A = this chain, B = another copy of it.
């Protein structure tokens, strides 16, 4: 008769961590009536029944990632976590027995272990080659332990606490300070592992350590981590809360980028859920103005139309919000946030839920048809703990047929996973990349490729400036590729104005990537009534104290339809340079632009694209392809169109237009030609930059940006070629 959710009560009886006693009772009432929850449960049961039939295997740790003992210990914690839940929900003791017996084997083995025999990590674990994986183990196993805690005799919990769990928590923290105390997603896992087991054992010392880090006395403050990060955060804070304070901006953007945010979201949210259940007085979901809930929204917004993350910084392409860690995170955000119906549509696409109160709420919401579409619109996400260290800007245009997304990065360095990619951008159409960010150079878990770890080419190529759609001066990366310098600086937001859906503008400046040179990029998404799809204006202004060579690459995909310049194709190919990533590019063709406006047309995935750019007649145009100096064939052989110009002060003014499509069945080429005839720079100074766009329809458009006044109230007058332009605000388009 009670269809209403019973009020959540705090209880000292287990489970009270993620799954709670109240949740179990609610779940039992709904079971059989909540399709997605039921299906997830039944899949977990099938999986664990199979594991139980196979028997317990707790091998002596030996292998690297991908190897046998590694894989087995991973399977063990995942199975225990599910078995714990099944025990609570289904009440069948065999699941508790399975968890108990496995824990006893771990407890027996644990005291015999030194650090893992594989020496590759700066923070070697016990069961795994790195503490990160051991933390994963403890995060999942804590949940399993909580589920059988009250079922175990007290002498057994005493034994496990003393022999296995407390020593393990100390090992991951006090004994490994370089790992535990960082501001880094790995450390978050460590903090949460220690915090969760602390909550299970009611060991408040561990919970405090998880929240606030180790005492500073235990740490050598001068040391750096082997991956280039610092051990201690700027403000000398550490622990879970420091990892919320520092890498998250007030908008919920995580400075390492969405790929690592996705990975960190699970421990962040699962610990938050546990804290909310056991220490509601902390109001963890309100912490930093609700940053955890904002982080969930930010992450969803950092995906293309397929739900795949924009590959900012180190990111393996194809990772998406369908990953299990985001199922949990999203369920928790829904339940402990404001039950936003937009989240339900994402959960529906995920088609599984977390087996707790949050997952039940989501499954019931979907069942009761409360879901609303999650429409991704234009958004700017600030970077930096205080939101004042640049941002990621996203301009979007959606109609019934197409979605376009333009992503510009004007952030800080992004910790150890950051790339030297100031003011870089990427462009998407319906979830496909038009102009790409390369992502990382790694085949995660593909053993043949360096054991699945980062490849050398991540440093020699993927992090390099030339690997990105941005300006490279004199073939040298931003900040000369120096991590410490990069980490001290960030780009500056200048304009982000999406008030007019037909003329959306973002603009940012970077004055530190090159000493003596200021960079300023303005990107505009324009939707003209007469054109089916929006086009993008890209104005990249460079201002230096002396003449340099500036390269501006565009990493397109597919087949060249018209190159638009007199391309000389050499009879043998050489690399474009010898270092800083240039050594990896084959110079396939080059030529002078010989014109004031050049148009490059290509075909990809049966769609036509055009890049029309206002060149100087002696600009060099390069066509390059990745793959040089790649002895292990680690790189993708992707192409690039590069504008090279020697100048002191100049502006690169370009329009990118998706303009047609090809149907191989009807063999019709619709819109094979750009709607844009010419792009010209009308004016460029410290105060204003103006370009003209000649359309095929014989109409002309002019775009002007104010370079030194971002006020939307300022009035401007500019005379160009005898024509007076007058406007209010940051920009003019007509």
Chain A residues with CB under 8 Å of chain B are 316-320, 322-324, 443-449, 452, 559-563, 567, 569, 571-575, 586, 588-589, 601, 603, 606, 623, 625, 627-633, 636-637, 639, 662, 664-669, 672-673
| Nearest B-chain residue to A575, judged by Cβ | B571
Q: Are B316 and A667 in contact (CB under 8 A)?
A: yes
CB distance from A168 to the nearest CB of B (A): 25
25 contacts between A and B (CB under 8 A): A316-B667, A318-B606, A319-B665, A319-B667, A320-B665, A322-B665, A323-B666, A443-B603, A443-B662, A444-B667, A445-B667, A445-B668, A447-B669, A448-B562, A448-B601, A448-B673, A567-B631, A567-B633, A569-B630, A569-B631, A571-B574, A572-B572, A572-B574, A573-B574, A573-B586
By a CB distance below 8 angstroms, the chain B residues around A448 are 561-562, 601, 672-673
| Nearest B-chain residue to A663, judged by Cβ | B318
By a CB distance below 8 angstroms, the chain B residues around A443 are 561, 603, 662, 669
What 3 pairs between A and B have smallest CB-CB spacing? A318-B664, A560-B633, A573-B573
By a CB distance below 8 angstroms, the chain B residues around A625 are 627, 637
CB distance from A663 to the nearest CB of B (A): 8
Q: Are A447 and B672 in contact (CB under 8 A)?
A: yes
By a CB distance below 8 angstroms, the chain B residues around A323 are 665-666
By a CB distance below 8 angstroms, the chain B residues around A606 are 318
CB distance from A30 to the nearest CB of B (A): 28
Give Cα A700–Cα B403 distance, bound, in whole angstroms. 53
Q: Are B637 and A446 in contact (CB under 8 A)?
A: no
Q: Are B567 and A664 in contact (CB under 8 A)?
A: no
| Nearest B-chain residue to A572, judged by Cβ | B574
CB distance from A62 to the nearest CB of B (A): 20
Other-chain contact of A672, B446, B560, B571 (Cβ < 8 Å): B446
By a CB distance below 8 angstroms, the chain B residues around A603 are 443, 446
Q: Are A664 and B633 in contact (CB under 8 A)?
A: no
Interface residue SS majority, chain A:
loop
Give Cα A444–Cα B589 distance, bound, in whole angstroms. 25
Other-chain contact of A588, B562, B601, B627 (Cβ < 8 Å): B627
Instruction: Evaluate whether A446 and B669 lie within 8 angstroms (CB atoms) in the complex, with A572-B572, A630-B569 already known.
Output: yes
| Nearest B-chain residue to A561, judged by Cβ | B448
By a CB distance below 8 angstroms, the chain B residues around A322 are 665
Contacts A319-B665, A443-B561, A637-B639 known; 9 new A-B pairs at CB < 8 A: A316-B667, A322-B665, A323-B665, A447-B672, A559-B636, A567-B631, A572-B573, A572-B574, A625-B627
Give Cα A447–Cα B629 distance, bound, in whole angstroms. 37
By a CB distance below 8 angstroms, the chain B residues around A637 are 625, 637, 639
Give Cα A317–Cα B623 distance, bound, in whole angstroms. 26
By a CB distance below 8 angstroms, the chain B residues around A563 are 632-633
| Nearest B-chain residue to A568, judged by Cβ | B631
| Nearest B-chain residue to A308, judged by Cβ | B664
Q: Are B588 and A664 in contact (CB under 8 A)?
A: no
| Nearest B-chain residue to A307, judged by Cβ | B665
Give Cα A316–Cα B603 distance, bound, in whole angstroms. 15
Q: Are B446 and A316 in contact (CB under 8 A)?
A: no
By a CB distance below 8 angstroms, the chain B residues around A662 are 443, 446
By a CB distance below 8 angstroms, the chain B residues around A632 are 563
By a CB distance below 8 angstroms, the chain B residues around A668 are 445
Give Cα A662–Cα B560 distance, bound, in whole angstroms. 30
Number of copies of this chain that the complex holds = 2
Most chain B beta carbons < 10 A, residue from A319, A444, A559: A559
By a CB distance below 8 angstroms, the chain B residues around A627 are 588, 625
Give Cα A436–Cα B603 distance, bound, in whole angstroms. 20
Give Cα A668–Cα B324 distance, bound, in whole angstroms. 13
CB distance from A180 to the nearest CB of B (A): 25
CB distance from A334 to the nearest CB of B (A): 20
Q: Are A669 and B569 in contact (CB under 8 A)?
A: no
| Nearest B-chain residue to A635, judged by Cβ | B559
Give Cα A632–Cα B562 distance, bound, in whole angstroms. 8
By a CB distance below 8 angstroms, the chain B residues around A639 are 637
Give Cα A138–Cα B6 distance, bound, in whole angstroms. 78
| Nearest B-chain residue to A447, judged by Cβ | B672
Q: Are B318 and A665 in contact (CB under 8 A)?
A: yes
Instruction: Evaluate whether A561 and B449 lie within 8 angstroms (CB atoms) in the complex, with A575-B571, A630-B569, A637-B637 already known.
Output: yes
CB distance from A361 to the nearest CB of B (A): 24
Give Cα A452–Cα B664 distance, bound, in whole angstroms. 13
| Nearest B-chain residue to A670, judged by Cβ | B445
Give Cα A603–Cα B634 distance, bound, in whole angstroms. 12
Q: Are A319 and B672 in contact (CB under 8 A)?
A: no
Give Cα A80–Cα B319 distance, bound, in whole angstroms. 52
Give Cα A222–Cα B456 distance, bound, in whole angstroms. 65
CB distance from A229 to the nearest CB of B (A): 22
CB distance from A304 to the nearest CB of B (A): 13
Q: Are A669 and B445 in contact (CB under 8 A)?
A: yes
CB distance from A650 to the nearest CB of B (A): 28
| Nearest B-chain residue to A567, judged by Cβ | B631
Q: Are A633 and B317 in contact (CB under 8 A)?
A: no
By a CB distance below 8 angstroms, the chain B residues around A452 are 669
Most chain B beta carbons < 10 A, residue from A562, A666, A669: A669
Give Cα A259–Cα B372 distance, bound, in whole angstroms. 46
| Nearest B-chain residue to A324, judged by Cβ | B666
| Nearest B-chain residue to A627, judged by Cβ | B588
By a CB distance below 8 angstroms, the chain B residues around A324 are 666
| Nearest B-chain residue to A449, judged by Cβ | B561
By a CB distance below 8 angstroms, the chain B residues around A562 are 448
CB distance from A625 to the nearest CB of B (A): 7
Give Cα A448–Cα B562 distance, bound, in whole angstroms. 7
CB distance from A346 to the nearest CB of B (A): 14
By a CB distance below 8 angstroms, the chain B residues around A667 are 316, 319, 444-445
By a CB distance below 8 angstroms, the chain B residues around A560 are 633
Q: Are A629 and B569 in contact (CB under 8 A)?
A: yes
Give Cα A563–Cα B448 distance, bound, in whole angstroms. 10
By a CB distance below 8 angstroms, the chain B residues around A629 are 569, 571
Q: Are A316 and B664 in contact (CB under 8 A)?
A: yes
Give Cα A628–Cα B573 distance, bound, in whole angstroms. 9
By a CB distance below 8 angstroms, the chain B residues around A665 are 318-320, 322-323
CB distance from A264 to the nearest CB of B (A): 15
By a CB distance below 8 angstroms, the chain B residues around A444 are 667
Give Cα A667–Cα B317 distance, bound, in whole angstroms. 11
Q: Are B317 and A561 in contact (CB under 8 A)?
A: no
Give Cα A729–Cα B563 distance, bound, in whole angstroms. 58
By a CB distance below 8 angstroms, the chain B residues around A445 are 667-669
CB distance from A639 to the nearest CB of B (A): 8
Give Cα A207–Cα B627 distance, bound, in whole angstroms. 61
Q: Are B569 and A317 in contact (CB under 8 A)?
A: no
CB distance from A677 to the nearest CB of B (A): 15
